[in-house]
Structure 1
């Protein structure tokens, strides 16, 4: 889980220029590989920056190519360049290399039949940078996703994770993200949120803007965090994306064969728990993608049903009640303090959303502890 900024905070203006070494000569072999035209010649090209890189810069390059010097037919092409620079997320020094290693190790090839990933055209490694030249993918993404799109994303995730839950050996690479990912998230958000919650619970409502009863209930969850984290740690393990949200998936409902979902940005991936990614997907929809909070139960129900169906298709024979229990345990554990912290630092106009989401999360926690 990334430490994403509050929804109302604008990202600081940073529009990196395409590296000067990227020119037509460098692009020719990449375009030939992408188009499967071994004699293609680039006719024209252009680029623009995608301002969504956490561990580097992302560029889209597109243009046209003549099939060969003797064949005047023209084909359109596009590529994505991700420049990953050496950088360490708190407690996660391998994050900047992880996506490359997911490709290089074959892990992403192992899961791509169930959950599609962008094709890697070429990787260039340097001392403190990794350049990933990738397929430019398309589909429904971000705020355009409706419940049916989330259902597709959940089902394909289940098909990807099911084999591991059914007995396939879990990958043991040291560079995968930590097993104790949840405890890191709780500490990252809970520690700064605690003081304001305590003051608010004692009668200073302006300390957080949250109703006092909600602050007290969130504090009680904080006090039980180790019990909840132990419950999370006891859940069945599988390979997790750990940043599975609407900006990192492209859904193609009309695909006839194979997965309908393409998952991007695997730099958080590691060994997590059943339903962990579903919890993140639903929480992100409610907090960051303006999904109607009054429809939270419907979204969660649709996602969990589709996820459990995908798990079963992949050979898992467990009880669907375990999926719900895991979701109700891990989602409030990882997100309640995060939402409380956002309520302290973000635009007051978003307070009704945070209050509604926090009430939903605390109700889930009560369900998990019942």
Structure 2
């Protein structure tokens, strides 16, 4: 049986008919677990086809893993859908696309046929819709984890951050910080704070691993969320996609990822981030209480703030790529390098504030002080 015959049989079972059109959808083409993502149409029906694989060639950090606890375990998303775990947040207003079929192919790949959700992508949402989503996320995570499964990720943050090493040697390279894009668009003092964050990385990871736990999506950002329904307003439910990293996380970790990622890829302006983050955090905390969580709010705040460590790698990456063409997520089009460096620089500076808050808050909650103390002394961008 050829690949065409295999696809034709799957499409016929899911959609009926015999004439199909395929539209490639934006995804991370570097990830070794994803063979491709397409919208498939037949007559008036459509579905999304996502093929999971472990045989695709990929760079080291994006290579598919056979370890069910690894952050990039190749078959995790199929398990999440097949088990029904993807719908565990549905009572609180966040669901996953419906699984139409999961097909084990003869070559070892898994074809996930998913509902083609018609709602508006969160990449175009207003701040109010993002805040409403934060409330739903809080309610879902406040209800408690649904129980462990042997294929859910563990220590995601440590593995993910540790796999991102490109450009780290440039953090102490004066010439790298004098590149025009960096020099002209990174705020004063950012170098000192980002070097400090890198120096404290192990401390931050230890804090995150010892906070209250929650079942977490771990790749929750606007490109993976949309409104449930084409005409939904600010109060409409959400649909979350791409559950490939799902597993154990700290309470607040998903929110700590979602907020800066709303700006890093230019979905919202960085100037709105402080007010947006404050409103979303208040909504998330309110949702936690509604969901039944009764713990100390300070631990939630620490989880959000300490999650800044996830972006320890991003400053080094931007130093390494300051002379390259700047592409959007998926690599389909170019974006303004000046705008990207300006917005990311401001967002990294905001995250430096989160990191500082975490260093102050953690010892009050019984954690040791961060090793950097007051190091390094203020010295402009150094």
2:99 maps to which residue?
Answer: 120
Within 5 Å, give how 1:156-167 maps onto structure 2.
156-164=136-144
* Partner SS, residue 143 of structure 2: helix
* Partner SS, residue 78 of structure 1: strand
* Partner SS, residue 4 of structure 2: coil
* Partner SS, residue 231 of structure 1: helix
Q: Which moved more, 1:50-59 or 1:235-244?
A: 50-59
* Partner SS, residue 59 of structure 1: strand
> Could you tell me whether the CA contact under 8 Å between 1:238 and 1:273 is conserved in 2?
yes
Q: Give distance in 1, aligned partners of 2:216 and 2:232.
A: 24
Pick from 354, 371, 375: which aligns with 1:364? 354
Distance 1:367 1:122, change over 3 A: same
**Is 1:197 equivalent to 2:187 in the alignment?**
no
User: When the two structures are superposed, what TM-score results if normalisation uses the length of structure 1?
Assistant: 0.78
Q: Give distance in 1, aligned partners of 2:282 and 2:227.
A: 18
Aligned length: 324
* Partner SS, residue 192 of structure 1: coil
Question: Over the residues paired in the alignment, what is the CA RMSD in angstroms?
Answer: 2.9
> 1:319 Cα deviation (Å)?
3.6
Within 5 Å, give how 1:315-330 maps onto structure 2.
315-330=292-307
For residues 99-153 of structure 1, the C-alpha deviation after alignment (integer angstroms, 9 at most, x for no partner) is 1101222322433333211111111113420011111102121431221221232
* Partner SS, residue 189 of structure 2: helix
Q: Give distance in 1, aligned partners of 2:192 and 2:63.
A: 29
Q: Give distance in 1, aligned partners of 2:349 and 2:193.
A: 9
1:81 maps to which residue?
Answer: 49
User: When the two structures are superposed, what TM-score results if normalisation uses the length of structure 2?
Assistant: 0.76
1:13 maps to which residue?
Answer: none
Pick from 97, 105, 127: which aligns with 1:147? 127
* Partner SS, residue 48 of structure 1: strand
Distance 1:307 1:203, change over 3 A: closer
Q: Give distance in 2, aligned partners of 1:134 and 1:204.
A: 45
> 1:259 Cα deviation (Å)?
6.8
Q: Give distance in 1, aligned partners of 2:239 and 2:267.
A: 22
Distance 1:176 1:333, change over 3 A: same
2:265 maps to which residue?
Answer: 288
**Is 1:312 equivalent to 2:289 in the alignment?**
yes
Which 5+ residue runs of structure 1 have no aligned equivalent? Answer: 1-17, 32-40, 65-75
> Could you tell me whether the CA contact under 8 Å between 2:263 and 2:273 is conserved in 1?
yes
Distance 1:323 1:204, change over 3 A: closer
Q: Give distance in 1, aligned partners of 2:228 and 2:176.
A: 50
